[in-house]
Structure 1
């Protein structure tokens, strides 16, 4: 009986020790590193304003972006809060690409979603939105279109009394020349639906 109690006590002790986890503010780290058993948490819920369904429609081009926040997403040996998303793009009413169903898929890493990101841009540096606002806080994401990865900076704002985001989409320099993203690069305002 003593042995059973000793084994039970040892098991409880080791279970508590193994489940210990360090919580680190996601926004005070340049990039999470593969630190085992660390949780890079969105302290202050700074990613929340980017969550939602957002639409751009100028009569010719239509972009719909859906973004959700994943809490404590397992990444290798650590966890992090992040934004994942999907999108749809139409040109002259014809659907060119649609990844909206992929947001509901179970992926093993955030980079496997069509849109992913978790870093708020450095407000002290010049960024693509400097001509629009002095508030340079932005979410830095990537968007994958037919195998091409583009950079997409996102800022929140209010447009005509409605919640909105402005995106700056650009093909990164390091992409091969034959990689042609589907959605044209540039600035777009999307209204929350």
Structure 2
């Protein structure tokens, strides 16, 4: 009898916690982009899986590297939790390292230059040659140059039998600066499309 009581108490507590902190799929729209306080936007369908790893684009003396990882139950705003993809990058030109933020990507990092969980399906928002059921990511992107912010689309592909991604980067700003302030510098990472091969561990 005692075991039945313990089980009943456990399920009551579990249901109470779930009611207070709902678990929602990451594709659930966030009303007014605010989200539900205390909710956990979970990758219930594992659509964020398979992006983890280090990817490399090379062109002559230019080497552009991106490292991605899936972060579980992260809170960027202290209002709700979510699963998301986080990333950092390195750019080398003519043997000179222009930027390297790779060390900022740690198992617990939650404020990265690449981050987000937005999943796009098919031709939505500009992928004319995507299959109807194909998934890709649209994440936020920040250059280390102040005020330069944008977005990055990441699409899985195969190149010569190797896992790869097609990355498209564009800037949506510099963000607003005070009148009379110097004009922000251009981003170090150039906007454009990059095919990046996944490196072996």
Alignment TM class, shorter chain as reference: 0.7 to 0.9
- Cα deviation code 1:106-140 (max 9, x no counterpart): 54xx4x2111111012535341x42xx23363211
1:126 and 1:13 map into 2 onto residues whose CA distance is: 43
1:1-193 to structure 2, matched below 5 A, reads 19-20=17-18, 21-29=21-29, 33-74=34-75, 75-104=77-106, 106-107=108-109, 110=110, 112-127=111-126, 129-130=127-128, 133-135=129-131, 137-146=135-144, 147=146, 148-173=148-173, 175=175, 178-193=184-199
* Partner SS for 2:44: coil
**RMSD, aligned CA:** 2.6
Contact 1:156 1:163 in 2 (8 A): yes
Contact 1:150 1:181 in 2 (8 A): no
The TM-score normalised by the length of structure 2 is 0.76
Structure 1: segments with no counterpart, 5+ residues = 1-11
Contact 1:85 1:115 in 2 (8 A): yes
Q: 1:16 to 1:27 in 2, by over 3 A?
A: closer
How many equivalent residue pairs?
177
The TM-score normalised by the length of structure 1 is 0.79
Structure 2: segments with no counterpart, 5+ residues = 1-9, 177-182
